[in-house]
Amino acid sequence: MNEEAFWIRERVKAHNKWFEESLPMIASENLMSPLAKEMLISDFADRYAEGLPGKRYYQGNIYVDEVELKAIEMAKDLFQCSFADVRPISGTVANMAVLFAFAEPGDTITTCALAQGAHISTAKFGAFGLRSVESVNYPFNETDMNLDVDGTIKLLKEVRPKVAQFGLSVFLFPPPLKELEDTFHEIGCTVWYDAAHVFGLIAGGQFDDPLHKGVHVVSSSTHKTFPGPNHGMLLGNNLDEEQEKALYRAVFPGVTSSHHLHAMASLAITLAEEKVFGKEYALQTVRNARALGEALYERGINVLCPDLGFTRSHTLAVDVSAYGGGKIVAQDLENANIICNKNMLPKDTSAVRPSGIRLGVQELTRTGMKESEMVEVAELITRVCNKESPAKVKEDVKELKKGFTKIRYCFHEGEEAYRYHELV
């Protein structure tokens, strides 16, 4: 091993150690199981496949096809849907596939605004803008952190979008799809739901299921509340043959070539684990998020939506403007080994200096933390917000984390099989 390779390996090991001693609370991250991670270093990582199972452009895909077909079967079963494609290599790539399948340049798509919590791919400088679609934002109720139903119905009837898109990066509550369903039928639009943040909660039955509330296609990443690899997925219900073909073509050759076979196999393992552990994991995740919101609020921290129980997902939105704003607080928390991110709230105009932070509990839950630990986490966060030395708080973070270094809600073969961030 030369000096550069040794240095890189040591930096990765240092990162692993840091996170093992930290409270990772980025809402868009999670931990894979050891078995799912094993797939990433299999021979699948070195191979290539283009097209659909049984219709490849390369030889050598006998076992790849079998795994992919099993993944598709499990996805349809888990989400009770008629269409699944496990080839997108990320959530944004899945979003791009839907755009290519159902929208032409100049078409209108309705969606949320970034300050309302929307994903960056819906912005004019993201995938929507690159596809040259016209994006129109829904009216938003800042108090409830959700769509204004009457205003949204009015907007949909006025704009008559080709596609109505839903989904957020600050996803606290389910969008009011049932209340909008008659309007969808009236204007005849395609309904698309980006479920990336709440995908695992939907799988576990703890968040409204969009595929059975008028949604045609769901796009998602597979590494947030759904604790799999960095990959993507498409699901559909009530799609006709031409719509399914359009999605298949959009994925390949539209936005992928080979679809990262090792990650696809890892996704298949996660689907199998979700069938066994998904309900229990999703339920504890939501309980933890609400417990953390309550504990922070009791300590004087301005967690949004207290009258609604703070959240029905894994995420909390927190206004920390009284403590210097999101940029300063997120940095102070990182210095204390509490890893989160600054985040825009509806009143904000700057993504660089927003008033809020976003907290996610899905990874802490994955390591076995429950409601009582959320109270301890809230106390640590509050101490940092109140300008206690991050270095001092860090020592207490490390002490808390000592008891939570193993991955739960997954298949394992003994204690050493599921060590947290163990370097192979």
If you average pLDDT over every residue of the chain, what do you get? 94
- Cβ atoms of 304 and 312 closer than 8 Å: no
What is the DSSP secondary-structure string of 219-240?
A: EEESSSSS-S-S-EEEEESS--
69/48 Cα distance (integer angstroms): 16
pLDDT band at 372 (very low <50, low <70, confident <90, very high): very high
199/90 Cα distance (integer angstroms): 13
pLDDT tens, position by position, 241-266: 999 999 999 999 999 999 999 999 99
CATH number for the domain formed by residue range(s) 277-418: 3.90.1150.10
pLDDT band at 424 (very low <50, low <70, confident <90, very high): very low
pTM over 0.85: yes
Phi, psi of 403 (to 5 degrees): -85, 5
239/258 Cα distance (integer angstroms): 25
**So what's the pLDDT on residue 413?**
54
What is the percentage of the chain residues whose pLDDT exceeds 70?
Answer: 97
Of 240, 238, 96, 95, the closest CA to residue 169 belongs to 95
**So what's the pLDDT on residue 159?**
97
**So what's the pLDDT on residue 325?**
98
166/190 Cα distance (integer angstroms): 11
pLDDT band at 118 (very low <50, low <70, confident <90, very high): confident
Q: Locate the DSSP E strands across 26-179.
A: 51-52, 55-56, 83-85, 108-111, 134-137, 140-141, 146-147, 163-166
User: Average pLDDT for residues 227-237, to the nearest whole number?
Assistant: 97
pLDDT tens, position by position, 287-303: 999 999 999 999 999 99
DSSP 43: G
238/217 Cα distance (integer angstroms): 9
pLDDT tens, position by position, 60-107: 999 999 999 999 999 999 999 999 999 999 999 999 999 999 999 999
Phi, psi of 251 (to 5 degrees): -70, -50
At position 181, the amino acid (one-letter code) is E
pLDDT tens, position by position, 25-35: 999 999 999 99
User: Average pLDDT for residues 224-234, to the nearest whole number?
Assistant: 98
**So what's the pLDDT on residue 421?**
52
pLDDT tens, position by position, 337-348: 999 999 999 889
Give domain limits for the chain.
35-271, 277-418
pLDDT band at 380 (very low <50, low <70, confident <90, very high): very high
Q: Which single residue is written with the structure tokens 């959530």? A: 91
308/290 Cα distance (integer angstroms): 10
pLDDT tens, position by position, 206-218: 999 999 999 999 9
Mapping DSSP to helix (H, G, I), strand (E, B) and coil, where does residue 257 land?
Answer: coil
Q: Which single residue is written with the structure tokens 């991670």? A: 37
Of 218, 286, 289, the closest CA to residue 278 belongs to 286
Q: Which fold has domain 35-271?
A: Aspartate Aminotransferase; domain 2 (3.40.640)
164/162 Cα distance (integer angstroms): 7
Max CA-CA distance within the chain?
A: 65
Instruction: Read off the tokens for 183.
Output: 């309007």
**So what's the pLDDT on residue 7?**
97
90/275 Cα distance (integer angstroms): 22
User: Average pLDDT for residues 177-202, to the nearest whole number?
Assistant: 97
User: Average pLDDT for residues 313-321, to the nearest whole number?
Assistant: 98
Q: How far is CA 241 from the centre of its chain?
A: 29
Of 190, 191, 263, the closest CA to residue 233 belongs to 263
